[in-house]
Structure 1
Amino acid sequence: MTNITEIEFLALNNRKAILYVPVSIYIGMTMIIGIIGNSLVCYIYGRMVKHTPTNCFILSLGIYDLICCGVTLPLEIVEMRYPYYYIETCKFQRLQITGTAIASGFILLAIAVDRYIRVCKPHKSKIESQLAVKISILSGTLALAMSIPVVLIYGQHTYTLPKLNITVSECSSTAENSRSVFPQIYYGFLFILFVVILIPLSILYGLIWRTLHMRKKTFSFSMTYLSASRNSFHNIAVNEVPLMLKQSKGKSKSNPTVNHIKGDPLQIRKSTIEKKNRYQFYKLKRTTFKLFLTTAFFTISFLPYHALMIYRTVVSDFVNLEPAAELTYNLFLRSYQLYTLNPTVYAICDNKFWTQLSVLFPFCHCRGKEEKEDSEEVEN
């Protein structure tokens, strides 16, 4: 081995760290946006809004991702700063980021099931808030159990730099595992798990959008999304309209509101109900779109990573790369870290979030145009 001083070795490390500056910037921006966004999500959805199943799931995503942004991503930046040194937190980093990613996937699947029931099976029993809490805890527990193999795979990997004949270390598969098929089997398991989650997500959202399209086209859902006690227009006509007419006879002189009633009261009531149905449909569709957008963002963030892992396993191990190729490789290898912004993506699209944010920070003028709780879900 070539003998060099510690100063020379540090200079060599610094040259590699300069190459990784774009990767560090990417991680740093994800970390800052994630910490700010997830902190606001956790506070607003945990303390300031109604505790609905969807809000519970978004809060769980926010908690998991806040831990990742606040703990793991800063350590990732340290790794990029010292690429030729082994960081002792290696195993913990890989365990934590793998576990939170799997847990996020499970929760997004639970959200899709909840959306499917509410849109396609509105008369079925829905996921309640208490069950949503249990699902979130179970998702975290299962994800942690499925992430345990990471501790066995990752560790201090020592190798020799080509041409320089210098030994360096990094956080990667250990020498023992590099000669084993176990890492490839586990990476294959993670990819299969990703596909197993992705397929039901695609099917469920496909059915949801088809149902919404059909109901928008025919508007046959009109009475479906009224509360059970108000579902029947017949009951309204029998019970409320005669009462309205009776009251109008006795109070028409003193009540200016009654004097301004024109036309058939039954028709007026029917028109009011239809407007309410359209508004409820609008809210239902918009909430579904926000959750779909969050799920799509999660999926897209993992595609480059899985494509890279498949290519590395089947074709090449990515050794002796040119600087540009090495930089691209490290960026793609960390593409999945964008999943930590999932709750923030949902919150940005939610008027309810901006309304509550304006309560916290009145000077920001971030209140949405619609002051009402138009982002609340039907029957939540």
Structure 2
Amino acid sequence: MDYNYTNGIVGWFTNNSFQNVTGNDSESRLWLTTQRTPYFISSGPVFDEVSNKFMTSVLLPSLVYVSILLLVGIPGNLMVVYVYSFKWPGCASTSRVFILALGCYDLFNCLSSITTEIVLLSRFLDFDFPVWCKLSRFVTASINSGSTFILVAIATDRFLRICRIHKDPISVDLARNLVIISVFFAAVTSWPVLLLYGTFTVTFPLKQFIYIKGKTCLISDNMAETIYPLIFVIFLLSSHFMVDLVLIILYSLVGQAVFRQQKFQKSIRTKSVSSKVPKTENDNKVEEWQTSFTADDLEKDQQALKQSKARTSNRISFVFWKKLSLNSKKAKVKSKLSSPDKELMKELKDSLKTRSSTDSNAPKSKRKIHAGKTTLMLFLVTLLFILSFLPYSIAVILRYTDPEFYTRLTPVGKGVYNVVLRSYFLNSVVNPVVYCFISKQFRKRSKDALRSLVCCESNR
């Protein structure tokens, strides 16, 4: 949130705006020249005019932004929860458990945090609901912490499946337990919000000795001048930095493993001619011998066939047994290959047939390196999560390192700044969009769900 959002409002209104303070222009001017004690305006036409002007000039872009997020986020996350809960047959997998958990977190964030933000932006200077403020900020912080925990679990699972194929990955039961742990982790890391946030009194000069006094949802008055908000902000930013670093390292290792796998398979395809298995030196010798042997024997066969026409009428039987003997000779030559060459050929053949077992209970020896669309989809979800928090983190750092930064901004700049402060809401909306673009199965099941819903409504 922004502590200096009220600076720069002086000068927005003409003298006519302040006739409402006393009733008429002459009395107002006389009162202004004789008044020497502060006069606070917390309600009435002047207060409403100031509040509306601030909302339209500074907060309107933020209101439009969060409203669009709400309209996209609620139906999108509802579809994710419905599809992954009821429209996905078969046994559960760790990916489905984690995606369903993220969908529930995001849906709850849209229903609670984003809706509260819309109400707050609509009446920013007249939001005196301390309990509502505390709970909404606690929910927002908890959901962000819980989602972070789930994303780290997802990255660890991808790392184990692709980079450590000889170790057990995260099982479905363990994934469900991790989701439960994420709820407790979120509460433990977010409880200071309940103490820090509440009603903050906004006071700024409008005219000489006349002040606007509003109330909004920010760090509460009794905590605003303490060091605790700064400590909590440092904790949040450092935690996000550490988590982002862990996620980047894990997915970098996954990317390297996938790159090596693809490079290896590409080299195999380029060396293979017909059998799609690279030929060893012995294979080339065998092939040359087989070619010459077959050509010589073919000539001998033709002579033998000519002689057999004169001696026997069973030409078909003779050719059949001759070809059978040739095939047996070829088999004997191939059997002369050394055992290391055979093992190499077997490994290469197996690598061409590499497929990943999505079942976490598969034996370790049978799991192969595989990075399909699921890994790409989860990587994009993580990347967008990091990017959505980056503008917010930069804005908070600027606010604490340069307290006068906001006051120097133009009204347009202040509007952009307030949108940036709410950039992190984006991570609760974009996940369904990513699933829809990457996962063909999710698109198909979503269409089926919508079709069944429409059919049910039409039959009523």
TM-score bracket, normalised by the shorter chain, equals 0.7 to 0.9
Query: Deviations for 1:130-170, whole angstroms, at most 9, x for unmatched residues?
Result: 11111011112111121110111111111212334111111
Residues of 2 paired with 1:211 and 1:205: CA distance?
A: 10
Contact 1:294 1:345 in 2 (8 A): no
Taking a change above 3 Å as real, the CA distance of residues 3 and 130 of structure 1, as seen in their structure-2 partners, is: closer
Q: Is 2:354 the counterpart of 1:277?
A: yes
Q: What is aligned with 2:387?
A: 300
Deviation track 1:175-198 (CA, whole Å, cap 9, x = no partner) reads 222211110100000011101211
> Aligned pair 1:214/2:267, yes or no?
no
Structure 2: 5+ residue stretches without partners: 1-38, 269-330, 332-345, 358-367, 454-460
Once the two structures are superposed, the pairs formed by residues 162-201 of structure 1 within 5 Å of their partners are 162-164=205-207, 165-201=211-247
Kept after mapping to 2: 8 A contact 1:212/1:285: no
Contact 1:31 1:74 in 2 (8 A): yes
> Which whole-Å CA distance do the structure 2 matches of 1:143 and 1:346 have between them?
24
Please give the secondary structure, in 2, of the residue aligned with 1:163: strand
One of 28, 53, 60 as aligned partner of 1:15: 53
**Counterpart in the other structure of 2:68:** 29
1:361 has 2:400 as partner: no
> In 2 relative to 1, CA 103–342 (structure 1 residues): closer, same or farther, beyond 3 Å?
farther
TM-score normalised according to structure 2 size: 0.64
- State the alpha-carbon separation in 2 of the partners of residues 31 and 282 from structure 1: 39
Show the 5 A alignment for 1:191-340: 191-219=237-265, 276-277=353-354, 284-316=371-403, 320=407, 322-340=410-428
Task: Name the CA shift for 1:325/1:46 in 2 (closer, same or farther; >3 Å).
Answer: same
Change (3 A) 1:10 1:310: same
Q: Following the alignment from structure 1 to structure 2, what is the Cα–Cα distance between the partners of residues 157 and 182?
A: 15
Shift of 1:7: 3.0
Q: Structure 2 matches for 1:141-156, cutoff 5 A?
A: 141-156=184-199
- CA change 1:9–1:122 in 2 (3 A) is same
What value does the CA root-mean-square deviation take over the aligned residues? Answer: 2.8
The answer to whether the 8 Å contact 1:34/1:341 transfers is yes
More displaced 10-residue stretch of structure 1: 84-93 or 107-116:
84-93
Q: Which has the larger radius of gyration?
A: 2
In 2 relative to 1, CA 3–62 (structure 1 residues): closer, same or farther, beyond 3 Å?
Answer: closer
Task: Please give the secondary structure, in 2, of the residue aligned with 1:284.
Answer: coil
- Pair 36,272 (structure 1): closer, same or farther in 2 beyond 3 Å: farther
8 Å CA contact 2:142, 2:189 repeated in 1? yes
Structure 1 residues 219, 31: closer, same or farther in 2, change over 3 A? same
Identify the match of residue 104 of structure 2 among 54, 63, 75: 63
CA distance in 1, matches of 2:355, 2:389: 37
For residues 209 and 6 of structure 1, what CA distance do their matches in structure 2 show? Answer: 61
Q: 1:279 to 1:127 in 2, by over 3 A?
A: closer
Q: Distance in 2 between matches of 1:12 and 1:306?
A: 29
User: In structure 2, what is the Cα distance between the partners aligned to 1:10 and 1:295?
Assistant: 42
SS of structure 2 residue aligned to 1:277: coil
Residue 126 (structure 1) aligns with? 169
Q: 1:218 to 1:47 in 2, by over 3 A?
A: same
With over 3 angstroms needed to count, the CA separation of the structure-2 counterparts of 1:123 and 1:166, relative to structure 1, is: same
Q: Retained in 1: the 8 A contact 2:373–2:439?
A: no
Give 1:326 shift: 1.9
Shift of 1:74: 1.1
AA matched with 1:361: L
Cα 1:87–1:47 shift into 2, 3 Å: farther
Tell which deviates more after alignment, 84-93 or 205-214. 84-93
